[in-house]
Amino acid sequence: MHPKIQIEVNYRAKRNIAAGGATFAILWSLGLSHLFNDMLQSLVSAIYPLIKESLQLDYKQIGLITLTFQFSSSVFQPVVGWYTDKRPKPLSLPVGMTCTMSGLIFLSQSTSLWMILASVALIGFGSAIFHPEASRLARMASGGRHGMAQSVFQVGGNLGGSLGPLLAALIVAPYGQQNVKWFSLVALLAIAVMIPISRWYGGNLKRMQRKRRDTVARKAQLPRSRVAITLAILLVLIFSKYVYMASLTNYYTFYLIHKFDVSVRHSQFFLFIFLFASAVGTLIGGPVGDRTGRKYVIWFSILGVTPFTLLMPYADLTCTCVLSIFIGLILSSAFSAILVYAQEILPGKVGTIAGLFFGLAFGIAGIASAVLGALADQHGIDFVYQACSFLPLLGLVAAFLPPDRKR
């Protein structure tokens, strides 16, 4: 980053912190970092049709790749979050991106299933380092508007996730798996964006730690039994959301190719449309939760998508695309609200909660992908979408969440 631009970013950040307001320079930099991170992460699922054909894999092996990828990030994220709650690491963002970059280079040269598994495990580990600390930074820079800050952070990730399949369609699909290595240049650019954020983090760490202790002391916590029940309800909602999302992010291209006979390239464009709608929904969910209460956003997001999921297995190609847009818009608005809601019932555990919920989201998605792949092999890809269409009905349990405070 240019020195003059860096000075201006630091000046604005310090001025906003002094005023108790949101530090938008840092928030947008975090959103951009999340965009780069998740764009690179999404390349893994975007090239599934290529490696399935070149390595002669079945759906179960595709599910195993996803399970390895998600497992490597889901197991380590809560550990990273718990550790950095106690010992914050300002340089964790560029370190995580370096792991991702190494995995991408290895992935581009992989010629066997075990090499693919090792590559995606390294990419997943980079994600495990990135998400808990970046989520903590978003809360630090929020100025009290926690839902808005998480939405800005999350929308970067969702936009990046939608760009991965598009770039795979334009760059990787026509020319081969080896072109994945060129995305390491994007990782280098991401590291350049992350370094100023890490400097801001280090410069404000002591003040933020004092503020965290004061917040924990002031906030009245719910009884442990109520906290446990509330977390269990949130986990059910995370399960519902991410199992259904796994059916789309990992098998939507196969479903379109099988049912409507579209090409691999066109199926990736349809996946991009769904993921882009998800990014827009994420941006909406957080600010609405700040104003109206997060419980209502959570409830509407999970349960409100049910009519669209139930219709989708029986729609034609055009209607499937339209329904996927509504599903992406509505369903994706939940995660920011769920994450902030959980952080508020357990004050002082920002990194732990972020790592736990990001890790569970990835872990559930990975296990679901393996199970759904086995179901697709045994009963067909159509059966998978018919069965998953009922999952959003689990949103009914959101009625038992305790009320949260409006902004």
- Domain tally for the chain? 1
* 241-250, 324-333, 379-388, 397-406: segment of lowest average pLDDT: 397-406
Mean pLDDT value of segment 350-366: 77
Mean pLDDT value of segment 301-316: 93
Q: For 157-179, how does the pLDDT look when each residue is reduced to its tens digit (9 = 90+)?
A: 877 877 777 777 777 767 667 77
Can you give the pLDDT at residue 17? 43
Q: What is the residue-averaged pLDDT of the chain?
A: 81
Task: Work out the pLDDT band at 314, boundaries 50, 70, 90.
Answer: very high
Whether 154 shows a pLDDT value over 90: the answer reads: no
Can you give the pLDDT at residue 102? 92
Between these two residues, 208 and 77, which has the higher pLDDT value? 77
Global pTM value: 0.68
Percent of the chain with pLDDT over 90: 21
In a domain, 209, yes or no: yes
Can you give the pLDDT at residue 216? 47
Between these two residues, 130 and 215, which has the higher pLDDT value? 130
In a domain, 363, yes or no: yes
In a domain, 7, yes or no: no
Whether 74 shows a pLDDT value over 80: the answer reads: no
Can you give the pLDDT at residue 209? 58
The CATH number for 270's domain is: 1.20.1250.20
Whether 392 shows a pLDDT value over 90: the answer reads: yes
Can you give the pLDDT at residue 210? 58
Q: For 107-135, how does the pLDDT look when each residue is reduced to its tens digit (9 = 90+)?
A: 888 888 888 899 999 998 998 888 888 88
Can you give the pLDDT at residue 149? 83
Task: Work out the pLDDT band at 220, boundaries 50, 70, 90.
Answer: very low
Take residue 359 and report the two structure tokens written for it: 């890790």
Can you give the pLDDT at residue 211? 56
Whether 1 shows a pLDDT value over 60: the answer reads: no
Cα separation, 5 vs 350, in Å, equals 30
* Cβ neighbours for 5, distance < 8 A, ≥ 6 positions apart: none
Task: Work out the pLDDT band at 405, boundaries 50, 70, 90.
Answer: low
Whether 153 shows a pLDDT value over 90: the answer reads: no
Instruction: Give the best-scoring range by mean pLDDT among 4-18, 39-53, 388-402.
Output: 388-402
Cα separation, 131 vs 106, in Å, equals 22
Domain extent at residue 389: 21-400
* 16-20, 127-131, 210-214, 249-253: segment of lowest average pLDDT: 16-20
* 110-124, 262-276, 315-329: segment of lowest average pLDDT: 262-276
Whether 307 shows a pLDDT value over 90: the answer reads: yes
Can you give the pLDDT at residue 36? 92
